């Protein structure tokens, strides 16, 4: 794979189907993202997150430098969350994610992030993978630690966030 996400592979875990989102997924993306709990945590957008916002976001990310991977529950094909990858300068890939608040605390984020990190490492082995997270967001911090990320002690680019790198 070259330095883009156009051929980023879909895959499955025990409970999830993970595949890059497309414009046809805007309704499902809107349903989990137009949530004050989610909106407060994601700097990418601000509530309310409208159907038009979902469509526009999916239209901007074409697989070159960014990809949004949907985490679909196998049992009912419902979109539960999104894991996003972004090519950055200095040979890095940033990972970020959000899951609908109805799915918090059930292990879905960890399952998805863990599987996608394996794919990202295989596809872009020469790039370092990092994340930014608020230390106060203990659930998200634990997801990253379980996936193999370690805090660097450095501040992130976004306010109140710390940088973690995949060990």
pLDDT at 40: 80
Report if residue 139 sits inside a domain. no
Q: Is 44 domain-assigned?
A: yes
In a domain, 70, yes or no: yes
| Residue numbers of the domain that contains 96 | 11-130
**92 found inside a domain:** yes
- The number of folded domains in the chain is 1
131: β partners: 164
Per-residue b/e over 15-33, b at no fewer than 16 CB within 10 Å?
A: bbebbbbeeebbebbbebb
Least confident of 4-13, 40-49, 97-106: 40-49
Give a yes or no: residue 17 inside a domain.
yes
Q: Could you read off the pLDDT of 109-153 as tens digits, one per residue?
A: 999 999 999 999 999 999 999 999 999 999 999 999 999 999 999
Q: What is the pLDDT of residues 12-60, one digit of tens each?
A: 999 999 999 999 999 999 999 998 888 888 877 778 899 999 999 999 8
- CATH number of the CATH domain containing 89: 3.40.630.30
Q: Is residue 153 part of a domain?
A: no
How sure is the predictor about 98, in pLDDT bands with cuts at 50, 70 and 90?
very high
Question: Does residue 104 form part of some domain?
Answer: yes
């Amino acid at each position: 794979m070259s330095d883009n996400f156009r051929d980023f592979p879909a895959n499955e875990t025990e409970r999830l189907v993970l595949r890059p989102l497309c414009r046809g997924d805007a309704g499902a993306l809107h349903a989990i993202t137009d949530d004050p709990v989610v909106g407060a945590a994601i700097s990418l957008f601000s509530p309310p997150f409208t159907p038009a916002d979902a469509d526009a976001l999916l239209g901007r990310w074409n697989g070159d430098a960014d990809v949004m991977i949907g985490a679909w529950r196998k049992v009912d094909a419902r979109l539960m969350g999104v894991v996003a990858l972004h090519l950055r300068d200095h040979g890095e890939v940033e990972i970020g994610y959000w899951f609908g608040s109805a799915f918090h605390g059930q292990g879905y984020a960890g399952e998805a992030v863990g599987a996608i990190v394996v794919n990202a490492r295989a596809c872009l082995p020469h790039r370092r993978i990092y994340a930014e997270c608020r230390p106060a967001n203990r659930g998200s911090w634990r997801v990253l630690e379980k996936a193999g990320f370690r805090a660097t002690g450095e501040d992130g680019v976004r306010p109140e966030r710390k940088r973690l790198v995949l060990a």
